[in-house]
Structures are given as structure tokens and as C-alpha cells.
A and B are shown apart, each in its own frame.
Chain A
Amino acid sequence: MSNLADKILFLPERASTFAERVDNLHYFVVGVTMVSSIAVGLAAVFMFFRYRRRTPNQATEYVVPNLPTEFLFVSVPLVFFLLWFAIGFRDFIFFTTPPKDTYDVYVMGKQWMWKFAYPEGPNGVNVLHVPANRPVRLLITSRDVLHSFYVPAFRIKMDALPGRYTQAWFEATKPGTYQVLCTEYCGLSHSKMLAEVVVLSPEDFEEWLKDQQRGRLAGRQDALADTSLVPPVARMAEQGQKLAGTQGCFKCHTMDGAQHIGPTFLGMYDRMEKLETGQTVRVDEAYITQSMMDPGAHIVSGYKNVMPTFQGKLQGPETAAIVEFIKSLRTANVREGASQGPAYEPIQ
């Protein structure tokens, strides 16, 4: 049944949990759309015939709808539309809320390729390896213009924006190779900005990771894997720590929970912070990235707006590495509550 519907509708194969969720609604909506357009069409054809003109100046009855008729006209579509909205929004929330403990991969779009970086160290260009049956979260950014990461078989899509992170997650259901397309127009070779997701069984994925860490890319078949980037075998977090040192982050941020000019990195990730505006914010990838690019946007309560912007100083992968480093300092909540105030007043 659904196979036939897939053929008629030209739907690509389903290879993620989200795809399986969303396609039922797809059948429902498209089915009702077709049935109702045909029904309106048939009603019209019937009436064109039934009420054809018989004399040139024929008089007609004065017909106006009564209130129940108009009520029907409003309520029938409204009920269907709201039902679709409710089901659709439930699935949309599923799509925008990644589960805990996802496997994170950093994705960077640039004209005209996709780069992937894994927390364990390896990098790749245009080929993304992920384990099957495990939630994978993509942290997506762009180095230049807008792009959009689209995997038809997973039914997922998310725009890549320069200077900030967006996220998309999926859980691939079967090993295989699936095409990635860029769906936000990005210039001359927009249509050539293709990549692949290679879904491996969990064991194969572990194996692949180990291979990558050993730097043994040479013998592999996937020619697109970017051997020029080998060996960046250090874990991303280690690269991040190194970068944080060279960029001077530690002048204001500590790693051990001690108070200083800026909030400490220790346990910062995933903490709820109170802002000086009174709002609270969860410290996630997007917030950390924004704080590097536009530090004044959301100041944590009790701190001064003294941090310089790193816009233009940090490339996408470097930002990702620092984010990953901060994430690695995630602890079982060393300290409850928000960060403390700065240790001393900086000289203005």
C-alpha cells in the first residue's frame, strides 16, 4: 500500500525515524488534497451540465446561503487544517528537539562543498559517516553565504548560516549511502554542492573511527574523503583547548571553576544562565557561538560587556573546536546555579 503510494508520489526511500513518522501525514494531506480538488471539480462539472443555459436571457432564482451552510464552509476546512497542523507540529517538535546523548558532528557549508568534523578528531569533505540506529546531531554553520543541508531519504533539511550554529538531528534506520543536496541557492555551482551520508552499522562505524584516528585513509575506497586534511587526529576538544590558549580565552575564562572576568568554562555547557535582562538562556552550541561572534548580544547577569568579537578571527572549524572543548568540560554539575560575578572590576 505505502509502496504503491510512494511510487505514485515519487517519494524517495525512508531511511530515518523522522521519515517514517512524517510520511503518514504526507499521504493523509496529499490524499485529501487530491480527493477534495476532484470533488470540487466534479461538483462543478455536474452543475455546469445540470444548470446549463436554456434561453439567452434566462432568469434565475435568488439563492443565498443560510448560516448553517456558511458555517459548514468554514468549519470543514478548518477542522482538517487544524488537525494537520497539530499532527505536523508534533512531528516538527520531534525534529527540532534532539534527544539527549546524540552523537554530534559539526557540519560546515562553503561554496561549494560540505565539510564534516567529528569530536574524535577526523575531518571529511562531502562524505559524512554516521552510525545506524543512533541519534546523530548535526551542528551546522556556513563559512560564506547561506546553504541548506538536505537529505531526502531522511526528510530533513536545515539552513546553514554564517556566524551561527543551527542544529538538525536524525536517526538513520539502515546502513547505506544517501545523497545530500544543498537547497539554499548559493551561487554558480549551487547544483554541484552534493555530498553523501554513509550510514554504517555501529560496529563498522567504530571500526571506521579507529581507522580515521590511525590516519589510515590511504587504502580506503571513498575517494572523496579529504586526505589533505590528515592527520588532524587530535580530538576536536584538544584542538579547541589549544586554540583557546592561542586566542587568549584563558585571560578571562578559567577551566577549573575559579571566578574571573568571564564565566568559567567548567560546567558551562548545558547550564541555564540568567542574563542581565532577566531572561534565562540554555548554554548550547548556538549560544556559545553567538557569544564568540557577538559577545554583547546576551550578557550573563553580573558580568561586564568587555569581550571582543571573534568574528573573522575564528574560522568555522576553529569555532567548532572551541565549542567542543567547552563541551568537554561538562561535569556532573560541579556547582549548582548560575556563575558567580567577576573576581575583580576590570580597569575601564
Chain B
Amino acid sequence: MNPSSSTTADGVLPAHDAHDAHGADHAHPSYLVDGTTIKSWLLTVDHKRIALMYLVWILLFFLVGGIFAMAIRLEMLTPGPTIMDAMTYNRTFTLHGMIMIFLFMIPAIPAVFGNFVLPLMLGAKDVAFPRLNLASLYIYLAGAFLALWGMLNGGLDTGWTFYTPYSTHTTTTVAPVLFGAFIIGFSSIATGLNFIVTIHTMRAPGITWFKLPLFVWALYATSCIQVLATPVIGLLMVIVTGEQLFHFGLFDPARGGDPVLFQHLFWFYSHPAVYIMVLPSFGVMSEVVATYSRKNLFGYRAIAYSSLGIAFVGFFVWGHHMFVSGQSTFDAGVFGVITMLVGVFTAIKVFNWVGTVYKGAVDFKTPFAYFCGFLFFTVFGGMTGIAVATTSLDVHWHDTYFVVAHFHFIMVGATVMAFLASIHYWFPKMFGRVYHEGWGLVAAVFIVLGFNATFIPQFLLGNYGMPRRYFEYPERYQALNVASTAGASLLAFGFVIISVYLTYALVYGRPSGKNPWRSKGYEWISDSPPPTHNFVGPQPTFSEEPHLYVDPKKAEVPNAV
């Protein structure tokens, strides 16, 4: 059923449309057409336009990273060389990791969807520092292009982890790539700061902390990590660049340095960075599950606090990447047991999402299909995370394909599911058009099945003992590798379908109306697409909590836990 066809159908509940008097007001054109020159886009300070520009670049980098992923899977089809030589392969997986992590996953949800809907959810005209917001986009692009330039001119073959002393000895171009990542870090910090200040100072009257949509809570926790952890990796990138160019010797044992120190500093950022990627996904899913099951969130405060809990505990678990690096047994125990807490916080969220569906009214639309995929990836990916944090088991699994499959499940699976859910869920909000629901569900099936078919064989490869970053491998591993590559093809096909029907919808899609999902999320109070300053007239007040679908006649609302 086309959601737009019955926007005004009689229902039990009025949507937020009550104060919709400006739908097609020519005095307040939508942000998409308010200024049509190239300059009006490139120099805009409108958070929505900045979000769209981020979206374009991030999709482009996602495409590039995805092409590298397919190249890796093709190379893994046979035990020997298949389509490239060892050096090219090493560069390819490095590029794949770098692009997907630094250029896609870290900014994907906060910079695009966070930027777009955060002010709408808060009833604000824009973020707190609109110019800083624009600057963060250009800083991101500057860093991205410096890194890409370095990758094309000499490449980098260290893997995205840049472990010393290999990274300080390799003949490939380390400096520009690391410096690019360093610059991107500033963009991340700027976005984080901007969001924190926005959330603290720009909430509309009526929005108390515990009436914030959970996506805002997730962004808040993410921003805190971005601001606190990113400087550490920035510092580290500078030191490694210095090692390469000026031979500092901090990490080089030949000069009295300590290579393991690098790993500590690296994971001190890069473990929290995993939560920078995955926490916004959790936030998106809280919105999606509430909207499509027409329910207030089961355990709102539990979900909100667990985001903060993950953000906090995430800073004290980095050593679980280093159980076999020569770190002491005691350290391994401490890091192992703290890691279990992350699993508990995530479990709280999962149970509360499933609880939200309980006694709900589920409309199985495309974003909800991605929610289902997300649920599975989070549970299975999260619990395999507990498995690799179990010290004795990790001795076998460390640096094998089990770890590769685990982090693709939890980090990539969750983020990509949430990214796709966001694109579909907020497509009408952003463009005022609807996509074809049938194709949306078909593509979701391809994506979810393809993802499983790609990475479940990799879990088994890890059990079987295949190390990661292997250009060639013993023949016994071939069958599972072929299975994984076949799955990756399904996945790629799903993305092709999505790009076709979304592009079509962008141009020919029917108008969506203001609130096609009849969501009671705060962001749907404004028009779709919203006018330049989001709200026409005085700042709206928010009397109800978000996602309140209770029949007003019997709205006897107990206090939420």
C-alpha cells in the first residue's frame, strides 16, 4: 500500500497535523528550493542542506569502499592469486577498511541524519553553530581527499590498524593517509561539539531531558565519545607520521621504543570509535521500532541510560584487542570482565526494543524490515563479541576471520541496517517523496540474506583457523570463501536495487505528504520537506512525550521507568 494515499484517512488518533497550516505556503518554500544556485548549496549554513551534501559524499565513499570489498571477495575465490598480486591485495583491504571506517561509518549517521533531524526533533531552527557545521563538512572533505590522494599515490599496505613497527617501516605512503585521518578527526570533533551544545541549549519549550527522542540520546552519547576520544587518535596519527618522517622512535624497538604502546593508544580511540559507529544506529532503531509498531518505547530510560553506559564503559575495554600481545594476565582479566558490561548494556536495549513491539500495531514497512535484520545482527554480533572477549577463547580466534565476521556483524551490520532504515524512514522527510514499498522490501531481503551469507561462512573460517589479511590461503579454506563471495554478490545486488528505486523516487516519486508514516516522533511536526528555518511562526511547544500513541480518551499515563 502506498503510504501517501491515505494520509488523511480517518483513524483513531489525529497525527501531528493539527497545526499544519503551511503545507504549501509559497512564502516559506521548502529548504530544497529556497535558493537554487550552486553557491546557495555550497555556502549554505542550513543544517538540512549540509546533511544532504554529507549524504552525497558519504554515499560516494560507501560505493568506493564497497567496490574494494567486492575486489577482496573476488580475490578470495581461489587459494592462490586470482585477480591481483599480493601488494595490490594488501592495499585493497587497507583502503576498504580506511574508507569504510573513517569516511563512511563514523560520519554516516550523525553527520547525515543526525544533522538533518536533530534540530527538527528539538524544535530548533538549526544547530547551535551553523557555520561550524558547514566547516566540519569541508574539513571532512579536505581530510578525505588528502587520504585518498595518498592512497592513489603509493597506496598504504598496513591495514587500517597501522600497527607499528610495520607502519613505520613500510615503503608505502603512510604520512598523507594518516594526516588525512587526523584532519577528518577535527570534523568529527566539531560535529560532536555542535550536537552537545545544541542538545543542551536549543530544546524547545516542553522538551525535558526525559522527553528527548532516543535518537537524540544516542547522538548525545556518541558526541561525548567523539569529543573525548578523537584527540587521542589525532595525536597518535601525528606521532606515527613523525616516526615515519623524522624517526622519533617512540614505537620502534630498534630505538628503544615500544610497539605495544602504539596498540594501547590506538585501541583507546578505536574501541570507543566502534560505539561512535554503532550508538547512532541504536538511536535510529529506537525511532523506527516506535513508529512502525505505534508504541511508546518500552523502558525509555533504560535505553537512554544504556547509551551513556556504553559510551562510558567503552573507554575501559581497549585491552581486549590485545589478549595475546604480551599484556599481563591480570590486565587481560580486567579488560575481559569490563567488556562483559558492554554486552549487558546492549542486551538491555535489545530486550527493550523487542518489548516495544509487545502490544503494538506493527506495520511491516521497509525500515521495519531493516530493524529485523538489525536485531539479528546485534544479538548474534554482540554475543560473538562476548565470545571473543572471553579470554581463553580469544586465544584461538584472535586475528582470524572470526573477528572479521564478528565486527562486520555488530559494527557494519548494525550501522548499515540503521543507515538503510534511516534513508527509507526519513526519505519523505528529506525529499517529500515516497519510494516504492515493494521494491524496498525485496531489496531488504537481499541485503539481510546477503549479509548473513557473506559473514556466517567467515565465522566458520575463523573457527577453522584462517587468519585475516591473508592474500593466499591453504586449500582447505576454499569452500567457505566461495560461499562468502557468493553472499557478497547477493548483498551487492541488493544495493544496486536500492540505488535504482531510490533514484527513481527522488525524481518521479509521488509526494509523500507531511507525515506518511503517521509517526508521533518529534521530527514529523514540521513540514516534509521542511522550510529553511524548520518551523514557520513561533517556536513550537511540545506537550506530549515523543511516540505517544495512546488513545487520548484513556490517556492515563503511568510514569515510565
Residue pair A26, B393 in contact (C-beta under 8 Å)? yes
Please, which residues of chain A bring their CB within 8 A of the CB of B474? 179, 194
How far apart are A51's CB and chain B's nearest CB, in angstroms?
5
Residue of chain A at shortest CB distance from B350? A40
Given known A53-B361, A58-B12, A88-B390, contact A182–B467 (CB-CB < 8 A): yes
Residue of chain A at shortest CB distance from B89? A191
Cross-interface CB contact of A150 among B6, B363, B465, B469, cutoff 8 Å? B465
How far apart are A319's CB and chain B's nearest CB, in angstroms?
12
Residue pair B361, A37 in contact (C-beta under 8 Å)? no
How far apart are A185's CB and chain B's nearest CB, in angstroms?
4
The stretch from A61-69, A200-208, A218-226 touching chain B is A61-69
- Does A327 have its Cβ within 8 Å of any Cβ on chain B? no
Cross-interface CB contact of B11 among A55, A74, A157, A188, cutoff 8 Å? A55
Residue pair A82, B340 in contact (C-beta under 8 Å)? yes
Residue of chain B at shortest CB distance from A145? B166
Please, which residues of chain A bring their CB within 8 A of the CB of B255? 311
Please, which residues of chain A bring their CB within 8 A of the CB of B294? 53, 58-60
How far apart are B553's CB and chain A's nearest CB, in angstroms?
9
Given known A88-B336, A191-B470, contact A44–B460 (CB-CB < 8 A): no
Residue of chain A at shortest CB distance from B356? A63
For the complex, what is the distance from the CA of A21 to the CA of B359, rounded to whole Å? 45
For the complex, what is the distance from the CA of A154 to the CA of B87, rounded to whole Å? 31
Please, which residues of chain A bring their CB within 8 A of the CB of B380? 33-34, 37
Task: Number of B interface residues at 8 Å Cβ cutoff, please give it.
Answer: 106
Residue pair A40, B260 in contact (C-beta under 8 Å)? no
How far apart are B291's CB and chain A's nearest CB, in angstroms?
11
Please, which residues of chain A bring their CB within 8 A of the CB of B12? 55, 57-59
How far apart are A286's CB and chain B's nearest CB, in angstroms?
8
Please, which residues of chain A bring their CB within 8 A of the CB of B384? 33
Cross-interface CB contact of B560 among A11, A64, A162, cutoff 8 Å? A64
Given known A44-B354, A84-B386, contact A162–B391 (CB-CB < 8 A): no
Residue pair B376, A51 in contact (C-beta under 8 Å)? no
For the complex, what is the distance from the CA of A70 to the CA of B471, rounded to whole Å? 47
The stretch from B134-142, B230-238, B324-332, B490-498 touching chain A is B324-332
- Does A318 have its Cβ within 8 Å of any Cβ on chain B? no
For the complex, what is the distance from the CA of A17 to the CA of B463, rounded to whole Å? 18
Cross-interface CB contact of A25 among B389, B390, B463, cutoff 8 Å? B390
Taking CB atoms and an 8 Å cut-off, the chain B residues in 163-191 that contact chain A are 163, 165-166, 169-170
Residue pair A44, B357 in contact (C-beta under 8 Å)? yes
Please, which residues of chain B bring their CB within 8 A of the CB of A184? 163, 399
Taking CB atoms and an 8 Å cut-off, the chain A residues in 17-75 that contact chain B are 21-22, 25-26, 29-30, 32-34, 36-37, 40-41, 43-44, 47-48, 51-67, 69-70, 73-74
Please, which residues of chain B bring their CB within 8 A of the CB of A91? 391-392
Residue pair A88, B344 in contact (C-beta under 8 Å)? no
- Does B41 have its Cβ within 8 Å of any Cβ on chain A? no
Residue of chain B at shortest CB distance from A140? B326
Taking CB atoms and an 8 Å cut-off, the chain A residues in 176-225 that contact chain B are 179, 181-192, 194
The stretch from A92-100, A239-247, A262-270 touching chain B is A92-100
- Does A309 have its Cβ within 8 Å of any Cβ on chain B? yes
Residue of chain A at shortest CB distance from B371? A44
Given known A36-B379, A162-B253, contact A81–B386 (CB-CB < 8 A): yes
Cross-interface CB contact of A12 among B253, B361, B465, cutoff 8 Å? B465
Please, which residues of chain B bring their CB within 8 A of the CB of A144? 165, 169
How far apart are A169's CB and chain B's nearest CB, in angstroms?
12
Given known A59-B13, A85-B340, contact A65–B355 (CB-CB < 8 A): yes
Residues 359-394 of B, flagged 1 when their CB comes within 8 A of A and 0 if not, give 111111000000010011001100110110111110
- Does A155 have its Cβ within 8 Å of any Cβ on chain B? yes
For the complex, what is the distance from the CA of A21 to the CA of B202, rounded to whole Å? 57
For the complex, what is the distance from the CA of A146 to the CA of B362, rounded to whole Å? 52
Please, which residues of chain A bring their CB within 8 A of the CB of B361? 51-55, 58, 60
For the complex, what is the distance from the CA of A243 to the CA of B361, rounded to whole Å? 80
Residue pair B90, A188 in contact (C-beta under 8 Å)? yes
Residue pair B387, A30 in contact (C-beta under 8 Å)? yes
Cross-interface CB contact of B464 among A41, A53, A76, A152, cutoff 8 Å? A152
- Does A306 have its Cβ within 8 Å of any Cβ on chain B? no
Cross-interface CB contact of A152 among B10, B295, B465, cutoff 8 Å? B465
Residue pair B399, A191 in contact (C-beta under 8 Å)? no
Please, which residues of chain B bring their CB within 8 A of the CB of A156? 395-396
For the complex, what is the distance from the CA of A41 to the CA of B353, rounded to whole Å? 12
Please, which residues of chain A bring their CB within 8 A of the CB of B548? 62
Given known A184-B399, A311-B253, contact A48–B348 (CB-CB < 8 A): no
The stretch from B23-31, B120-128, B296-304, B503-511 touching chain A is B296-304
Given known A56-B518, A183-B400, contact A65–B344 (CB-CB < 8 A): no
Residue pair A63, B392 in contact (C-beta under 8 Å)? no
Please, which residues of chain B bring their CB within 8 A of the CB of A60? 293-296, 359-361, 549-550
Please, which residues of chain B bring their CB within 8 A of the CB of A97? 329
Residue of chain A at shortest CB distance from B255? A311
For the complex, what is the distance from the CA of A48 to the CA of B383, rounded to whole Å? 23
For the complex, what is the distance from the CA of A230 to the CA of B396, rounded to whole Å? 34
Residue of chain B at shortest CB distance from A149? B324
For the complex, what is the distance from the CA of A177 to the CA of B516, rounded to whole Å? 65
Given known A22-B392, A64-B298, A145-B165, contact A59–B551 (CB-CB < 8 A): yes
**Sample (27) of A-B pairs whose CB atoms are under 8 Å apart:** A9-B463, A22-B392, A22-B393, A29-B387, A41-B376, A47-B358, A52-B364, A57-B12, A59-B549, A59-B551, A65-B302, A74-B344, A77-B344, A89-B332, A90-B392, A92-B391, A96-B329, A145-B165, A146-B165, A148-B324, A155-B395, A156-B396, A163-B254, A164-B326, A309-B256, A311-B255, A311-B256
Give me 19 other A-B pairs in contact (C-beta within 8 A), A59-B294, A89-B332, A145-B165 excluded: A22-B393, A22-B395, A29-B387, A29-B393, A30-B387, A32-B383, A52-B361, A58-B11, A60-B360, A65-B355, A73-B348, A77-B344, A92-B323, A150-B467, A161-B326, A181-B465, A183-B398, A183-B400, A191-B470
**Closest 10 A-B residue pairs measured CB to CB?**
A57-B11, A152-B465, A163-B253, A91-B392, A88-B390, A92-B391, A59-B551, A191-B470, A81-B340, A77-B347
